[in-house]
Structure 1
């Protein structure tokens, strides 16, 4: 795949609702220097790890703020969300059978994790 094609694919991914480089400076910087599909997947994976740490911190904070049945509900919702994210991103990452699927799948994990971290942070407020 040529650099132009990779760049076009990265732009298309950003426009289709994946983790937008415009919202994530570190991702944008990494993607700007990505020359291959593997490089693009590495960019998404690195940022997904950052967002996963954010998500785990937000989850622990939100869980500590809940009481009784709400605490148990949040635990169950989070378990279900993880299953959904994994299944959804596996589906997104197998759409064409081409190498871009790897980028789509990793971008899906990043985007969904980033969004869920924000949702959990919003549960307890600023």
Structure 2
């Protein structure tokens, strides 16, 4: 059972890391040079900061483009999304009880932040 859990965790790491790194040369380069769990988490955290700045810029642009009830709806949805992201990634980041959870959790935050930034950018267009 423990081997199955560890194998599943390793697979999850491989899938999550590949998805984010495949579209991001800076993250891929960082991950390629990472030799420890802490290094991998550091790569995810560094790129999450970039994606979070992107998300905040897109959120402000979306708010500026909306009025009245739609603006309030976006604010409400964004607050709920943050709670969901944190809960979801907390869950993913505690699957095995091992150090790989740190990588999976930080990768989850990165992936979800990047996806949400894209969603918000799509609200207002180019």
- Structure 2 residue aligned with 1:113: 113
Task: Please list every run of 5 or more consecutive structure 1 residues that lacks an aligned counterpart in the other structure.
Answer: 1-8
1:55 aligns with 2:55: yes
Alpha-carbon distance, 1:79 to partner = 0.3
Contact 2:12 / 2:104 at 8 angstroms: preserved in 1? no
Over the aligned positions, Cα root-mean-square deviation in angstroms equals 1.8
- 2:16 and 2:106 map into 1 onto residues whose CA distance is 14
- Structure 1 residue aligned with 2:4: none
- Structure 2 residue aligned with 1:82: 82
CA 1:110 to 1:54, structure 2 compared with 1: closer, same or farther past 3 Å?
Answer: same
Deviations 1:102-124 (A, max 9, x none): 00000000000000000000000
- Structure 1 residue aligned with 2:33: 33
- 1:26 and 1:34 map into 2 onto residues whose CA distance is 12
Contact 1:89 / 1:108 at 8 angstroms: preserved in 2? yes
Task: Please list every run of 5 or more consecutive structure 2 residues that lacks an aligned counterpart in the other structure.
Answer: 1-8
- 1:18 and 1:76 map into 2 onto residues whose CA distance is 32
Taking structure 2 as the reference length, the TM-score comes to 0.88
Matched residue of 1:35: which SS? coil
Taking structure 1 as the reference length, the TM-score comes to 0.88
- Structure 2 residue aligned with 1:67: 67
Contact 2:93 / 2:101 at 8 angstroms: preserved in 1? yes
CA 1:12 to 1:90, structure 2 compared with 1: closer, same or farther past 3 Å?
Answer: closer
Contact 1:18 / 1:111 at 8 angstroms: preserved in 2? no
User: What number of residue pairs does the alignment pair up?
Assistant: 118
- Structure 2 residue aligned with 1:6: none
CA 1:105 to 1:12, structure 2 compared with 1: closer, same or farther past 3 Å?
Answer: closer
